[in-house]
């Protein structure tokens, strides 16, 4: 935690960035046909198309331009066959030149496995560090020091406290205090196993025990992963990757699950809500502020500050009719789920929001934030405001945020945005159209409540075949796949075949922009799923939250498996990450598979240099955790794989 006693102030980090102008002539962008082709190649998001076209015409650099500039990617790095772990190297495996070992003697399998474990541990660390910050805030509230924060869902607080045998017949703050300490202890516990893993069905838990991958502590597994990737420690690729599964479980059933649960305790467990989505959520007559990143601790406070009379009066003083808060990526998902705040989009919309010319400030915490955003912003009046000591961005304005100074910091930030309204250049404003309606807020509790207080109707619908199964579609955007095409095509194919989709992160936002997150989208579903959606009044694609909220999917699966008395691996379910890019997505995919969920990836991980590693992940893991990965960039073919898998599982269950 940072020193919250300092009064929050705003200052520029380093120098103002130079602009990010493209050399339009060199890139043939004077030719409208070239621009049109590029736009169509880049995205299926209709609002994004208009803004990308605008960027190309104006010469504003975006993710797709930088991706083109990086082509061709290094073939050793792409296949996982390069290592820069120590200064005897860097090394590359080049079999055709008889370079089949690094200087230390590591072969292709080990180099690939080490790189993958490193990536996975980074992802697990990111989620879990986020989770820890939320739990630390709960501790402050428990101590009576969390000014501005409070317990919003005391029922959930007590339910989780009971899982930890913490007495609940007393003041909520006392319960919060003891629960926070119990959860913080899980990061370095010496009990030998994580408490939240007991939420898994007995059969799943037994598989973890048998395979030796039951996580012993969150920090412990991540630290051990980093130890194992040091030169001269891990030498067996399979042994390394089994530890990867244990590290991933520590994230999914540990750090991420805490991030979700404690956010619910502090800010409220999501309930179904309606809102708006896409780049059309900008308001020409209002101060527009986007909230980007992952952690709801800051954004919740920004909402409170922006809703206050003082800031509204200031906005009016500068000629705006109000303050329009807009979510992006997973901070946006958190705010949409709990507060119904509109969202501009997902990962690849983050530069496009600046290019609307109508953005006064983008407030960021951490993860998935392009370090180049201040360059993009330098073409406009937009201020990028970074807030985390872990993620200070050169060229941004910085206001140090901590739970102790949250209220003051939020006020400084909102004031900065409001005062920037007068610097907006109306000639540069380009709001591409109108937003679409979305329904969100489908926590496990909300789904259970919608079904009448029990998941039994869902289980019955699966057993009767009205719903053939369920798929968690998660993850990011990646320039190797047309923006949103993977997510939306896969979801449409699956619901057409009566498979319910539950989504998080940028996948859920892609579906939202494509109109799949409304009950009306049930017309795209098969007859069985359509009937259920109509009867319950839900969309065929359910928005379950941010990327840490993939843990909600684990809990949903555990609850369904417990009703049936089976392990998660026996359920007719699957996971998919059609456009994943991040280290966190590697951790998520790995905890899905380790939990027994067959998972199809869109982009190939950087592992193809080791056929042995590929075989272990796509076949061998069946013998260990009864699930495996598949890789299929074509979302229609990915749907075929998933449908076949679900039918196989149904047959095995006799349904």
The listed partner (ligand SF4, ligand MSK, none) that binds 329, CB under 5 to 8 Å by sort, is ligand MSK
Q: State whether the Cα torsion 339-343-345-351 is positive or negative.
A: negative
Of 492, 397, 502, which Cα lies nearest the Cα of 447?
502
Cβ closest to ligand MSK, residue 217 vs residue 327:
327
- The residues that touch ligand MSK, with contacts defined as CB under 6 A, are 294, 329-330, 346-347, 368, 475-476, 505-506, 546-547, 582, 584-585
H or E element, residue 402: none
The listed partner (ligand SF4, ligand MSK, none) that binds 320, CB under 5 to 8 Å by sort, is none
Cβ closest to ligand MSK, residue 347 vs residue 492:
347
Of 254, 346, 360, which Cα lies nearest the Cα of 294?
346
d(CA 164, CA 185): 11
The listed partner (ligand MSK, ligand SF4, none) that binds 79, CB under 5 to 8 Å by sort, is none
CA 188 to chain centroid:
25
The listed partner (ligand MSK, ligand SF4, none) that binds 475, CB under 5 to 8 Å by sort, is ligand MSK
Cβ closest to ligand MSK, residue 204 vs residue 331:
331
- As measured in angstroms, the least distance from the Cβ of 357 to ligand MSK is 24
d(CA 447, CA 455): 8
- As measured in angstroms, the least distance from the Cβ of 86 to ligand SF4 is 3
DSSP state of 475: -
The listed partner (ligand SF4, ligand MSK, none) that binds 364, CB under 5 to 8 Å by sort, is none
Residue partners of 252: CB distance under 8 A and separation at least 6: 550, 551, 554, 587, 588, 591, 592, 594, 595
DSSP one-letter string for 569-615 = GGSSEEEEETT--SHHHHHHHHHHHHTT--EEESSPPTTTT-HHHHH
Q: What angle do CA 62, 510, 647 make, to 5 degrees?
A: 135
Cβ closest to ligand MSK, residue 178 vs residue 503:
503
Cβ closest to ligand MSK, residue 462 vs residue 474:
474
d(CA 254, CA 123): 13
The listed partner (ligand MSK, ligand SF4, none) that binds 326, CB under 5 to 8 Å by sort, is none
Residue partners of 159: CB distance under 8 A and separation at least 6: none
Cβ closest to ligand MSK, residue 166 vs residue 577:
577
Q: How far is CA 373 from CA 382, 391, 449, 519, in A?
A: 10, 13, 41, 36
The listed partner (ligand MSK, ligand SF4, none) that binds 505, CB under 5 to 8 Å by sort, is ligand MSK
- As measured in angstroms, the least distance from the Cβ of 223 to ligand MSK is 22
- Whether 403 and 365 have beta carbons less than 8 Å apart is answered as no
Cβ closest to ligand SF4, residue 232 vs residue 453:
232
- Whether 610 and 506 have beta carbons less than 8 Å apart is answered as no
Angle subtended by helix axes 309-317 and 406-419, to nearest 10: 20
Cβ closest to ligand SF4, residue 84 vs residue 423:
84
Any idea how long the chain is?
Answer: 655
Radius of gyration of the chain (CA): 24
- As measured in angstroms, the least distance from the Cβ of 92 to ligand SF4 is 9
The listed partner (ligand MSK, ligand SF4, none) that binds 563, CB under 5 to 8 Å by sort, is none
- As measured in angstroms, the least distance from the Cβ of 449 to ligand MSK is 26
Cβ closest to ligand SF4, residue 88 vs residue 313:
88
- As measured in angstroms, the least distance from the Cβ of 338 to ligand MSK is 16
- As measured in angstroms, the least distance from the Cβ of 79 to ligand SF4 is 14
The listed partner (ligand MSK, ligand SF4, none) that binds 103, CB under 5 to 8 Å by sort, is ligand SF4
Cβ closest to ligand SF4, residue 11 vs residue 98:
98
d(CA 258, CA 397): 30
Of the CA atoms within 13 Å of residue 106, those in its CB half-sphere come to 34
Assigned token pair, 376? 């993009």
Q: Where would I find the H helices in 471-576?
A: 485-496, 505-513, 527-536, 550-564
The listed partner (ligand MSK, ligand SF4, none) that binds 388, CB under 5 to 8 Å by sort, is none
Assigned token pair, 480? 């190797």
- As measured in angstroms, the least distance from the Cβ of 350 to ligand MSK is 9
Cβ closest to ligand MSK, residue 266 vs residue 343:
343
- The residues that touch ligand SF4, with contacts defined as CB under 6 A, are 83-86, 88-91, 102-104, 106, 111, 231
List strand residue ranges (DSSP E) for 428-479, in order. Answer: 436-440, 469-473
- As measured in angstroms, the least distance from the Cβ of 102 to ligand SF4 is 2
Cβ closest to ligand SF4, residue 105 vs residue 188:
105
Assigned token pair, 360? 């006064």
- As measured in angstroms, the least distance from the Cβ of 372 to ligand MSK is 15
The listed partner (ligand MSK, ligand SF4, none) that binds 85, CB under 5 to 8 Å by sort, is ligand SF4
Cβ closest to ligand MSK, residue 44 vs residue 646:
44
- As measured in angstroms, the least distance from the Cβ of 257 to ligand SF4 is 34
The listed partner (ligand MSK, ligand SF4, none) that binds 90, CB under 5 to 8 Å by sort, is ligand SF4
Cβ closest to ligand SF4, residue 92 vs residue 584:
92
The listed partner (ligand SF4, ligand MSK, none) that binds 157, CB under 5 to 8 Å by sort, is none
Q: What angle do CA 336, 342, 343 make, to 5 degrees?
A: 85
- As measured in angstroms, the least distance from the Cβ of 494 to ligand MSK is 18
- As measured in angstroms, the least distance from the Cβ of 294 to ligand MSK is 6
Residue partners of 183: CB distance under 8 A and separation at least 6: 135, 138, 164, 258, 262
The listed partner (ligand SF4, ligand MSK, none) that binds 576, CB under 5 to 8 Å by sort, is none
Q: What angle do CA 198, 202, 205 make, to 5 degrees?
A: 65
- As measured in angstroms, the least distance from the Cβ of 547 to ligand MSK is 4
The listed partner (ligand MSK, ligand SF4, none) that binds 245, CB under 5 to 8 Å by sort, is none
Cβ closest to ligand MSK, residue 324 vs residue 546:
546
- As measured in angstroms, the least distance from the Cβ of 473 to ligand MSK is 11
Hey, is 60 helix, strand or coil?
strand
- Whether 4 and 143 have beta carbons less than 8 Å apart is answered as no
Q: How far is CA 140 from CA 31, 130, 152, 195, 233, in A?
A: 58, 16, 15, 22, 39
């Amino acid at each position: 935690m940072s020193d919250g006693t300092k009064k929050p102030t705003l200052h520029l980090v380093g120098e103002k960035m130079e602009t990010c102008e493209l050399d339009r002539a060199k890139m043939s962008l004077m030719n409208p046909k070239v621009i049109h082709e590029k736009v169509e190649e880049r995205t299926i998001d209709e609002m994004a198309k208009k803004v990308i076209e605008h960027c190309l015409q104006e010469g504003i650099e975006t993710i797709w331009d930088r991706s083109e500039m990086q082509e061709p990617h290094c073939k050793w790095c792409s296949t996982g066959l390069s290592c820069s772990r120590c200064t005897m190297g860097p090394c590359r495996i080049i079999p055709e030149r008889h370079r089949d070992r690094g200087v230390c003697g590591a072969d292709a399998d080990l180099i690939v496995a080490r790189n993958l474990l490193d990536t996975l541990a980074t992802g697990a660390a990111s989620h879990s560090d986020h989770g820890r910050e939320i739990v630390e805030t709960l501790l402050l509230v428990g101590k009576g020091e969390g000014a501005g924060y409070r317990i919003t869902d005391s029922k959930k607080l007590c339910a989780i406290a009971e899982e930890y045998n913490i007495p609940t017949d007393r003041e909520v703050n006392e319960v919060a205090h003891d629960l926070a300490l119990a959860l913080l202890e899980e990061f370095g516990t010496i009990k030998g196993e994580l408490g939240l893993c007991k939420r898994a069905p007995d059969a799943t838990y037994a598989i973890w025990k048998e395979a030796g991958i039951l996580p012993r502590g969150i920090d412990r597994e991540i630290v051990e992963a980093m130890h194992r990737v040091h030169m001269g420690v891990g030498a067996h690729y399979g042994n390394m990757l089994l530890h990867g599964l244990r590290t991933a479980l520590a994230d999914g059933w540990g750090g991420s699950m805490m991030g979700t649960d404690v956010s619910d305790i502090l800010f409220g467990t999501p309930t179904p809500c309606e809102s708006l989505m896409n780049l059309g959520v900008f308001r020409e007559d209002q101060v527009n502020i986007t909230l980007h990143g992952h952690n709801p601790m800051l954004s919740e406070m920004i909402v409170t500050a922006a809703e206050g009379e003082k800031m509204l009066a200031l906005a009016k003083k500068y000629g705006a009719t109000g303050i329009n808060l807009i979510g992006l990526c997973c901070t946006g998902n958190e705010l949409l789920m709990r507060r119904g705040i509109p969202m501009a989009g997902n990962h690849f919309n983050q530069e496009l929001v600046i290019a609307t010319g109508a953005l006064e400030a983008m407030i960021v915490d951490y993860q998935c934030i392009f370090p180049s955003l201040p360059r993009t912003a330098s073409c406009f009046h937009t201020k990028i405001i970074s807030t985390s000591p872990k993620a200070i961005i050169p060229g941004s304005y910085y206001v140090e945020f901590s739970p102790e100074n949250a209220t003051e910091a939020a006020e400084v930030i909102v004031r900065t945005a409001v005062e920037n309204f007068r610097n907006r250049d109306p000639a540069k404003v380009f709001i591409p159209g109108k937003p679409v309606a979305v329904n969100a807020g489908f926590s496990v509790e909300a789904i259970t409540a919608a079904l009448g207080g029990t998941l039994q109707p869902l289980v019955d619908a699966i057993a009767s075949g009205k719903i053939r199964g369920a798929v968690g579609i998660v993850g990011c955007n990646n320039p190797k796949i047309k923006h949103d095409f993977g997510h939306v095509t896969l979801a449409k194919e699956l619901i057409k075949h009566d498979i319910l989709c539950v989504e998080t992160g940028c996948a859920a936002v892609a579906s939202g922009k494509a109109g799949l997150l409304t009950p009306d989208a049930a017309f795209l579903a098969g007859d069985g799923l359509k009937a259920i959606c109509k009867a319950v009044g839900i969309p065929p694609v359910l928005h379950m939250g941010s990327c840490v909220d993939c843990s909600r999917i684990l809990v949903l699966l555990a609850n369904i498996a417990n009703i049936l008395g089976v392990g998660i691996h026996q359920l007719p379910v699957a996971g998919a990450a059609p456009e994943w890019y991040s280290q966190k997505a590697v951790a998520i995919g790995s905890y899905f598979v380790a939990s027994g969920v067959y998972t199809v990836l869109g982009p190939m991980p950087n592992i193809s240099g080791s056929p042995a590693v590929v075989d272990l992940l796509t076949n061998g893991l069946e013998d260990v955790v009864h699930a495996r990965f598949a890789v299929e960039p074509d979302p229609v073919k990915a749907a075929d794989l998933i449908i076949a898998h679900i039918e196989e599982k149904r047959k095995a269950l006799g349904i």
